Amino acid sequence: MSGILRLSLRVLVHNGPGVLHQLTGVIARHQGDITSVGISDGGAETFFELTLPTEDPAALRADLAELSVVREVTVEKSLQQIYGKRIIIMGGGAQVGQVAIGAIMEADRHNIRGEHISVDTIPLVGEQQLAEAVRAVARLPRAKALVLAGSLMGGEIERAVREVRAKGLLVVSLNMAGSVPDAADLVVTDPVQAGVMTVMAIADTAKFSVDRLSRRVF
């Protein structure tokens, strides 16, 4: 949209109570829409992902720099522009690795055409641990799809899958034992192909849509 700027702000501060309130107050006065906040270095470094109804962030940067709690303000490209959409792959190590091969190869094909897709992996076992990890994906910035790669998943993991799907996350499952495949958007037997199809499903540069498939198990 014309006139809308996506950017990232890196703000170094003198940490203390109410600092975040002061920073967000200035951003709000400039009609900035904050989409993500990250705090590191014990609270001394804050990152904002936001959009502004202007193509020039100079006024916002100047007003933030005038705050007594602020040491430095840097305007950078947004993480959406740099890393783009995220695919999260979790489950058994061997299966996760094979899915990642397919996802990375396909993401490279789309990224050289202007897309921005990144791939994250976490080898993880245990019903409760996996269920917690699945639910946490919905809280990850820029996460668009989750691939569950394993041999047996069900129970609490299935419930977690249905919850994150209801929040708009695409969930792809390997064709495995357990009830998770019944809850997923797409079920793929070959792990490499699962990675490929997941990237195709979220890429703007691909002519592929899960909603248009006549079947969902491959």
pLDDT of residue 1: 43
Q: How many CA atoms lie within 13 A of 39 on its CB side?
A: 10
Domains along the sequence of the chain with CATH: 5-81 (3.30.70.260), 83-212 (3.40.50.10550)
Residue of 166 and 204 predicted with greater confidence: 166
Give the CA-trace dihedral at 126, 131, 132, 137, to 10 degrees: 120
Write out pLDDT tens, residues 14-48.
Answer: 888 889 999 999 999 999 999 888 888 777 889 99
pLDDT of residue 89: 97
Categorize the per-residue pLDDT at 3 as very low, low, confident or very high, splitting at 50, 70 and 90: low
Whether 214 shows a pLDDT value over 70: the answer reads: no
Phi, psi values for residue 150, rounded to 5°: -170, -170
User: Residue 210 and residue 133: Cα distance in Å, rounded?
Assistant: 24
Percent of the chain surpassing pLDDT 90: 65
Whether 207 shows a pLDDT value over 80: the answer reads: no
Write out pLDDT tens, residues 72-124.
Answer: 999 988 887 788 899 999 998 899 999 999 999 999 999 998 889 999 999 99
pLDDT of residue 36: 86
The whole-model pTM stands at 0.77
